[in-house]
Amino acid sequence: VESLAVSLEASRDRFLISTDSDRLDIDAIHAYLTRSYWAGGISRDLVARSIAGSLCFGLYADNAQIGFARVITDRATFAYLADVYVLEAYRGFGLAKWLISVVVAHPDLQGLRRFMLATRDAHGLYEQYGFRTVESPRWLMEIVRVNPYSGA
Ligand SMILES: CC(C)(COP(=O)(O)OP(=O)(O)OC[C@H]1O[C@@H](n2cnc3c(N)ncnc32)[C@H](O)[C@@H]1OP(=O)(O)O)[C@@H](O)C(=O)NCCC(=O)NCCS
C-alpha cells in the first residue's frame, strides 16, 4: 500500500502539518504531554514508543513543533485519535481545526468502521469533524489506569 510510505503535508502561511515522523521533535512533544491533563508525568521513552507505533501529525510554525495529533490505527477498520494539542501561544487561530480536518481527510483513515477519541472538554472541536458522543456506551468496555505516570 503506497500511502504507508508516503508522508502527507499541508501548509498555510508559516504553518505546516506533516505526517513525516523524521520531522517530529520528540523533546517538544514530550515537554507538552508530560504537563497535559491526560498524560501528566509521561516519560520521554514512552512518548517515543507511542509515536513509533502510530500515524502522527506534526504541526509546525517556521519548522518549530507547536502542535501534534497521534492516530493509533490499523489503517483499514479502526482508529483512535490521541495526544492532540496546540501550544498556548498559538491557540485561537483555527490551527486545531485545520489539524483535525487534515487528520480525518488522511487517505489511510477513510471508510473506517469506528474512529474514537476521549476528551474532557473539547467535544465542540471534534463535533465539527463528525465525531459524536457514544450512542451506546453499554457496547463499549475499557481498562483504565488513573494517574498511570504518577511514579508511585
Ligand atoms: C483544544 C486545542 C487543541 C484547541 O486548539 P486551537 O488551535 O486553539 O483551536 P482552534 O482555534 O482551531 O478552535 C477550536 C474550535 O473548537 C472549539 N472548542 C470546543 N471545545 C474546545 C476546547 N475545550 N478548547 C478549545 N476549543 C474548543 C472552539 O470553539 C473552536 O471552534 P469555533 O472556531 O468554531 O468556535 C487547544 O486548546 C489545546 O491544545 N488545549 C489543551 C490540550 C487539549 O485539551 N487537547 C484536546 C484533548 S482531547
- 64: three-class secondary structure by DSSP: strand
- Distance CA(105)–CA(39), nearest Å, equals 26
Which residue, 132, 128, 53, is CA-closest to 96? 128
125, 127, 128: which to mutate for ligand 1, most atoms within 8 A of CB? 125
Q: Say if ligand 1 is within 6 A of residue 125 CB.
A: yes
Closest residue to atom 32 of ligand 1, CA basis: 125
**Looking up cell 459524536, which residue turns up?**
132
How high is the pLDDT of residue 151? Answer: 63
Give the pLDDT confidence score for residue 6 in this predicted structure: 82
For residue 75, what pLDDT is reported? 98
Q: Which pLDDT score, from 0 to 100, does residue 31 have?
A: 98
Give the list of residues 6+ apart from residue 148 with CB closer than 8 angstroms, or none: none
Q: What is the pLDDT along the chain (152 residues), one digit of tens a residue?
A: 445 568 999 999 999 999 999 999 999 999 999 999 999 999 999 999 999 999 999 999 999 999 999 999 999 999 999 999 999 999 999 999 999 999 999 999 999 999 999 999 999 999 999 999 999 999 999 999 998 998 64
Is 81 touching ligand 1 by the criterion CB < 6 Å? Answer: no
| pLDDT attached to residue 5 | 61
- Closest by CA to 69, choosing from 103, 95, 45, is 103
Q: Provide the pLDDT for residue 150.
A: 87
C-alpha of residue 115 to centroid of ligand 1, in Å: 19
**Residue nearest atom 17 of ligand 1, based on CA coordinates:** 125
- 41 Rama class: left (phi>0) / alpha (psi -120 to 50) / beta: left
Q: Give distance in angstroms: CA of 129 to centre of ligand 1.
A: 13
Which atom of ligand 1 lies at the shortest distance from residue 85's CA? 39
The count of C-alpha atoms lying within 13 angstroms of the C-alpha of 103, restricted to the half-sphere facing its C-beta, is: 33
Nearest atom (ligand 1) to Cα of 117: 48
Joined grid coordinates for residue 61: 510554525
Q: What's the pLDDT at 4? A: 57
Q: Compute, in degrees rounded to 10, the torsion defined by CA atoms 74, 80, 82, 85.
A: 100
Contacts of 70 (CB under 8 A, 6+ apart): 50, 51, 54, 55, 56, 57, 81, 82, 83, 84
The pLDDT, as a whole number, for residue 32 is 98
Q: Distance of alpha carbon 72 from its chain centroid, rounded? A: 9
